[in-house]
A and B are shown apart, each in its own frame.
Chain A
Amino acid sequence: MNNSRHMSYWSGIRKRLQRNKTAMAGAIILLVFTLGSLLAPVIAPHPVEQMNFDQRLAAPSSTHLLGTDDFGRDIFSRLLHGGRISLLMGLITVVLSTTIGVTLGIIAGYYRRLDLFIMQGMDILMSLPALLLAIAVIAVLGPGLANAMIAVVIAVIPSYVRVVRSAVLSIREKEYIEAVRALGIRDWQILLKHILPNIMSPIIVLSTIQFGVSILAAAALSFLGLGAQPPMPEWGAMVFVGKSFLSQAWWMSIFPGMAIMLVVLGFNLLGDGLRDALDPKTR
């Protein structure tokens, strides 16, 4: 396989992705949120922790674009800063669960003797609802953002293992793998150089969608009071706090809720687009 062929494979995917309008909409949403979060200290109109008791529960206005919360803190500024937490948390959980999940999945798919043990472990995890599992993990570790991330990672790993294992299973029987094995190449080289590149597309699609799932799960945990703790401007926690003011200040929970929804929607749209673009049948 020469280099230019390789390039055209990826550029073809990019072109197909760009033609997909919904995927681009997802990408644009994510770009806006990522920029907003990265530039939060610059564009936030008010200091994020500053309390202003005269401005409690102020409705959206020109000074406070999205209103203020029960401490008079500017919700728009908190949303921008909260985006950093949510996106970073999504990134960390996805990187961690991808690394662990892909490793376990490859091992299970390639070394058939270990398959049973790993997959039974995963089946046990999958037999529990993901959120319930996360709550159980937090019950052991105690509430907090870091523990919420660990809980989410544990809860999403099985889905990676399943996908990766089945992809490896189909590829390891291919003739070219048999050929490299016949050449006496070491197992880890086969795994890294010949199998991993060929299962990249399901991993990319899954990671994109899991990004949204992780953010949603972490927000759900924070909403239950198990994840991020006050005064952290985590979106789920903001919805939680706003819940008890819903009749007086709807903006306290609606806007962070919308932010969660948009980001998760963005990841799902992009993920769907990537799947279509990476699927050889739609070429």
Chain B
Amino acid sequence: MKKSWWKTGPLSVLLATAVIAGCSSQTANQTTQPKTDEAGKTSNTLVVSSLIDPDTLDLHKTTWLGNENGLLYEPLLSRDTSGKIIPGLAEKYEISPDGKTWTFTIRKNIRFHTGNPVTAAAVKESFDRMLEISPVKGIVGPIEKVEATDEQTLKVHFSKPFSPFINVVISGMVSPVDTKAAKELGDGFGDKPSGTGPIQFEKRERGASLLFKKNPEYNWGPEYVANKGPLHIDNVLFRFLKDDDTRMMEFKKGTIHVLHDVPANSVAELQSLPGVDIQKTMDIGIKYIAFNNKHPLFSDVRLRKAVALSVDRDPLVQVALNGFGKPIYGPLAPTIFGYSEAIENKAKQMYTRNVAESKQLLADAGWTDTNNDGIVDKDGKPLSVEILVSQQPAFTRAAQILQSQLREAGIDLKITVQEMTTIKDRISKKSYDMALMYYGWYDADILFLIFEKSNAESRMHYTRPELDDLLNKGREASSEEERIRIYEQAQEILLNDSPWVPLWVNEVVTATRGIKGFGLNSYTQYFILNDVTLDK
């Protein structure tokens, strides 16, 4: 047989090397690009691997804040790493005795990234823009008007007292935005945002990366960091790598300094690598089973409790999350204002797994296993329910464990994996039995946002006038102690009615390598970059 000379000859080697050289020069270009963009030769860039490319960098147009779009801006108030309220852009704040007026004193000599000064008037403008265009303006509560009484004093007037406002401020959703620049740029503001944060926008490649440079003017770092001035690093590059294997590989290769949201089953592997530092933060929300409380089955509290009692949370955390989480029995996570240890203990007592009691509740409701197939039935129909689960690995794994746990109580659980948007749609249409869901927010007011009757319509369809009263009172009460007391009562109603089954609180694992001084604030959920230096 005749061989093709070009397959074996020297030309093939040449071809192959050319191809390889082509590839490598291309990849080299890609990785060095951000560095050469920055002027200085001493340019040092912190590379962060993050999962979600933010929809927009315009704070007033987004619904969701991560480090990528959150660190650009700075809140008026913040919390330190132990949860204590500390000044942010506001030196101090004061609430009027009737609870309706909040007065903030804005710091002097602060400038936006564009150089425009941050005055009380500028902050007022920012509030006005937020109230006008933000898709999440509902979270700020019943604001009547915002006024700047002098250069430094900002007054926010409410029609009714609204205590959760403190956590709205801390969340960063109402941080000052440079509205002067926003007016000039119009819709383009999202591509050239201006705030007051320690990093400022430099360049964006949609879906791939976001490059920030340090804010050279910055000298108002929070109390809990050593470096109050500009960052030690020149640039921060966020790279959006979706595939876990790719992210892990890049991190191991050393091309990424900070690996955010480490996949749970890779943590052990990273821990064994030299020079890798692992940090964990508790999430500010919980994952839970949402019942359709209007469903013919789950409108019966006995069935809801039967499900709640057949759940064992430890294997969920140990197996589905590889131990990176904490079982939760009550409605609020420990990082959320309003969390009460007494409630959590009570919830634990009420809902620690008890299959016998679960079966008893089912029997009381008329469900018994008459044909000995392991599944309880009533009028000849087996108890079979469907749970909607999104495609996240932790969720699908948890669902399988729930399936085996519920089966022991005699409940047949069918798992349906669907897109989150489809799940939310089915939930608001009441065409579901159960769903594996999550929430995240900084204040117990989340219970209002989930359970108050106007909100319950699109969620679990559970309504209870006494609960609504308490949740409204919780918004209006002025002292923290009083609010905690009110939310304890509200949580107690939720414990007794069990309209949902709280399951666990995630621990977000972040791995760092080749850097020093990196921190995480679990009360704000943001990175602390002020003291970060790169090893060289």
Chain A, range 117-162, C-beta contacts under 8 Å to B: 142-143
Q: How far is the CA of A50 from the CA of B269 in the complex (A)?
A: 28
- List of A residues within 8 angstroms of B399 by Cβ: 230
Q: How far is the CA of A266 from the CA of B318 in the complex (A)?
A: 40
Say whether B400 contacts A71, CB under 8 Å: yes
Minimum Cβ distance to chain B for residue A128 (Å)? 23
Say whether A70 contacts B397, CB under 8 Å: yes
- List of A residues within 8 angstroms of B366 by Cβ: none
A25-68 toward B: CB 8 Å interface, digit per residue (1/0)?
Answer: 00000000000000000000000011101001000000000000
- List of B residues within 8 angstroms of A231 by Cβ: 400, 403, 415
| Segment at the interface with B among A85-93, A100-108, A240-248 | A240-248
- List of B residues within 8 angstroms of A243 by Cβ: 245
Instruction: Specify which of A71, A225, A229 is in contact with B401 (CB 8 Å cutoff).
Output: A71
Instruction: Specify which of A49, A53, A142, A229 is in contact with B318 (CB 8 Å cutoff).
Output: A53
Say whether B319 contacts A230, CB under 8 Å: no
Minimum Cβ distance to chain B for residue A244 (Å)? 6
Say whether A244 contacts B244, CB under 8 Å: yes
Is B96 at the interface (CB under 8 A from chain A)? no
- List of B residues within 8 angstroms of A225 by Cβ: 391, 417
- List of A residues within 8 angstroms of B315 by Cβ: 51, 53
Say whether B319 contacts A143, CB under 8 Å: no
Q: Provided the pairs A56-B319, A225-B391 are in contact, do residues A49 and B404 lie with their beta carbons within 8 angstroms?
A: yes
- List of B residues within 8 angstroms of A49 by Cβ: 404
Q: Provided the pairs A225-B391, A231-B400, A231-B403 are in contact, do residues A247 and B269 lie with their beta carbons within 8 angstroms?
A: yes
B398-413 toward A: CB 8 Å interface, digit per residue (1/0)?
Answer: 0111011000000000
Q: How far is the CA of A244 from the CA of B263 in the complex (A)?
A: 9
Q: How far is the CA of A56 from the CA of B318 in the complex (A)?
A: 11
- List of B residues within 8 angstroms of A56 by Cβ: 319
Is B265 at the interface (CB under 8 A from chain A)? yes
Minimum Cβ distance to chain A for residue B385 (Å)? 16
Q: How far is the CA of A51 from the CA of B400 in the complex (A)?
A: 10
Q: How far is the CA of A231 from the CA of B418 in the complex (A)?
A: 15
- List of A residues within 8 angstroms of B244 by Cβ: 244
Say whether A244 contacts B401, CB under 8 Å: no
Chain B, range 250-288, C-beta contacts under 8 Å to A: 263, 265-266, 268-269
Q: How far is the CA of A225 from the CA of B415 in the complex (A)?
A: 14
When C-beta atoms are compared, the residue in chain B nearest to A50 turns out to be B404
Q: Provided the pairs A56-B319, A70-B397, A71-B400 are in contact, do residues A229 and B263 lie with their beta carbons within 8 angstroms?
A: no
Minimum Cβ distance to chain B for residue A105 (Å)? 36
- List of A residues within 8 angstroms of B403 by Cβ: 231
Minimum Cβ distance to chain A for residue B253 (Å)? 15
- List of A residues within 8 angstroms of B393 by Cβ: 244
Minimum Cβ distance to chain A for residue B449 (Å)? 30
Instruction: Specify which of B263, B269, B319 is in contact with A53 (CB 8 Å cutoff).
Output: B319
Q: How far is the CA of A71 from the CA of B404 in the complex (A)?
A: 11
Q: Provided the pairs A225-B391, A229-B415 are in contact, do residues A51 and B265 lie with their beta carbons within 8 angstroms?
A: no
Q: How far is the CA of A71 from the CA of B269 in the complex (A)?
A: 19
Is B428 at the interface (CB under 8 A from chain A)? no
- List of B residues within 8 angstroms of A247 by Cβ: 266, 269
- List of B residues within 8 angstroms of A143 by Cβ: 417-418
Say whether B418 contacts A142, CB under 8 Å: yes
Say whether B319 contacts A71, CB under 8 Å: yes
Q: Provided the pairs A225-B391, A244-B244, A244-B393 are in contact, do residues A51 and B417 lie with their beta carbons within 8 angstroms?
A: no
- List of B residues within 8 angstroms of A50 by Cβ: 404
Q: How far is the CA of A143 from the CA of B416 in the complex (A)?
A: 9
Q: How far is the CA of A142 from the CA of B244 in the complex (A)?
A: 24
Q: Provided the pairs A53-B315, A244-B244 are in contact, do residues A230 and B400 lie with their beta carbons within 8 angstroms?
A: yes
Minimum Cβ distance to chain A for residue B502 (Å)? 21
- List of B residues within 8 angstroms of A230 by Cβ: 396-397, 399-400, 415, 417
When C-beta atoms are compared, the residue in chain B nearest to A56 turns out to be B319
Q: How far is the CA of A49 from the CA of B403 in the complex (A)?
A: 10
B133-177 toward A: CB 8 Å interface, digit per residue (1/0)?
Answer: 000000000000000000000000000000000000000000000
Minimum Cβ distance to chain B for residue A237 (Å)? 10
Minimum Cβ distance to chain A for residue B477 (Å)? 44
Minimum Cβ distance to chain A for residue B422 (Å)? 8
When C-beta atoms are compared, the residue in chain B nearest to A143 turns out to be B417
Instruction: Specify which of A142, A229, A245 is in contact with B265 (CB 8 Å cutoff).
Output: A245
Minimum Cβ distance to chain B for residue A224 (Å)? 11
Say whether B404 contacts A51, CB under 8 Å: yes
Minimum Cβ distance to chain B for residue A117 (Å)? 36
Say whether A244 contacts B415, CB under 8 Å: no
Minimum Cβ distance to chain A for residue B478 (Å)? 48
Instruction: Specify which of B268, B404, B416 is in contact with A229 (CB 8 Å cutoff).
Output: B416
Instruction: Specify which of B265, B318, B415 is in contact with A248 (CB 8 Å cutoff).
Output: B265
Minimum Cβ distance to chain A for residue B434 (Å)? 16
When C-beta atoms are compared, the residue in chain A nearest to B315 turns out to be A53
Minimum Cβ distance to chain B for residue A185 (Å)? 52
A67-93 toward B: CB 8 Å interface, digit per residue (1/0)?
Answer: 000110000000000000000000000
B281-320 toward A: CB 8 Å interface, digit per residue (1/0)?
Answer: 0000000000000000000000000000000000100110
When C-beta atoms are compared, the residue in chain A nearest to B244 turns out to be A244
Minimum Cβ distance to chain B for residue A104 (Å)? 33
Q: How far is the CA of A225 from the CA of B392 in the complex (A)?
A: 11
Residues of B within 8 A of A (CB): 244-245, 263, 265-266, 268-269, 315, 318-319, 391, 393, 396-397, 399-401, 403-404, 415-418
25 A-B pairs in the complex with CB atoms less than 8 angstroms apart: A49-B404, A51-B315, A51-B404, A53-B315, A53-B318, A56-B319, A70-B265, A70-B319, A71-B319, A71-B397, A71-B401, A142-B418, A143-B418, A225-B391, A229-B416, A230-B397, A230-B400, A230-B415, A230-B417, A231-B400, A231-B415, A243-B245, A244-B244, A244-B265, A248-B269
Q: What would 11 more interface pairs be, CB under 8 Å, given A51-B401, A229-B417, A230-B399?
A: A53-B315, A53-B318, A225-B391, A229-B396, A229-B415, A230-B396, A230-B415, A243-B245, A244-B244, A244-B245, A248-B269
